[in-house]
Amino acid sequence: MSASKKTDEVPSALDGQRLDRIVALMGDISRSDAAFAIAAGGVLVDGGIALSGKVRLTEGQVISLDTATIPQLELPQADLSVEFGVVHEDDHVIVVDKPPGLVVHPGAGNSTGTLANGLLARYPDIEGVGDPVRPGIVHRLDAGSSGLLVVARTDHAAEYLIDQFADHTCTRRYESLVWGVPDAPHGIIDAPLGRNRNDPLKMAVVAHGKYARTDYRVIGSYSEPAVVSRLECRLETGRTHQIRVHLASINHPLVGDPVYGQRRPKLGLQRPFLHAAELAFNHPGNKERVTFHSPLSSDLKAWLDAAVA
């Protein structure tokens, strides 16, 4: 198969959806870019060229997307105005302390003002490392999350780190605040994740999803301003929205989560209470184990101090 081809079957979560929406999700592109690719003859459905993005598909149909027909994003430009913290830097890696609200790299609807733009301004040597649209980026945090993220400065470092995320030797610990108090003070949520059948823009626990495991431990609980608990979560896998979906699946969603919060009050929080507090990996330079820490971000700490004082 050509390197520019991306082929997949329509999953159950997208059964009955329009082709242009499926292509947008499949290619991680905007609907308008998906429509452009379809109009350019770059999308096949069950081997035939798709003539319209309005047709609705059924589970199991095969879509082939020629990524060369997708309008190309402009490569990110250096932007010194993007603010973020750095807890460590050397010739191989940069460990960033990402503030909440900062998108990690350009994508549909976010072409400028991302962490990638800011990184290029401070570390121009990462240009060309890995994917040119997301130079040096080997993993992500949701825009609403804060905390630690490692960036590669060389192709060797990028490959070395990606392998560790794939085999789970890179470990991450998150601090969170959830509704209620889990029955078990320590537990493992082992539940596969995939697209939500009712809303393909969201993730959900699904029978035939990707393997996902989250280890949680209760580290505190409060009765004011509501019955909530602080959890320490460790990822054994790194699926999209994993912690948020897993905790919601056991009826303890993150406080402040506008997507998976089950319509509960946000208690004044402007984003999900989730912070990447610890990151550990084998260093690409000397292969020694290194561990980095980030204190709870100022907005979450201020909210916690005020709410449970």
Catalytic positions are: 142
Q: Which residue's entry shows tokens 């994993």?
A: 242
8-state DSSP, 6: E
* Separation in Å, CA 137 to CA 79, 87, 127, 231: 16, 16, 11, 27
**121 contact partners, CB below 8 Å, separation of at least 6:** 78, 79, 80, 82
What kind and span of H or E run contains 158? Answer: helix 155-167
Of 238, 235, 260, whose CA–CA distance to 249 is shortest?
A: 260
Burial string for 269-292 (b: 16+ CB within 10 Å, else e) reads bebbbbbbbbbbbbbbeeeeebeb
- Inter-helix orientation angle 19-27/31-39, to 10°: 110
The pair of structure tokens assigned to 272 is 């999900």
The sign one gets for the Cα dihedral 216, 219, 222, 225 is negative
What b/e readout covers 107-142, taking b as 16+ CB neighbours within 10 angstroms?
beeeeeebbbbbbbeebeebeebbeebbbbbbbbbb
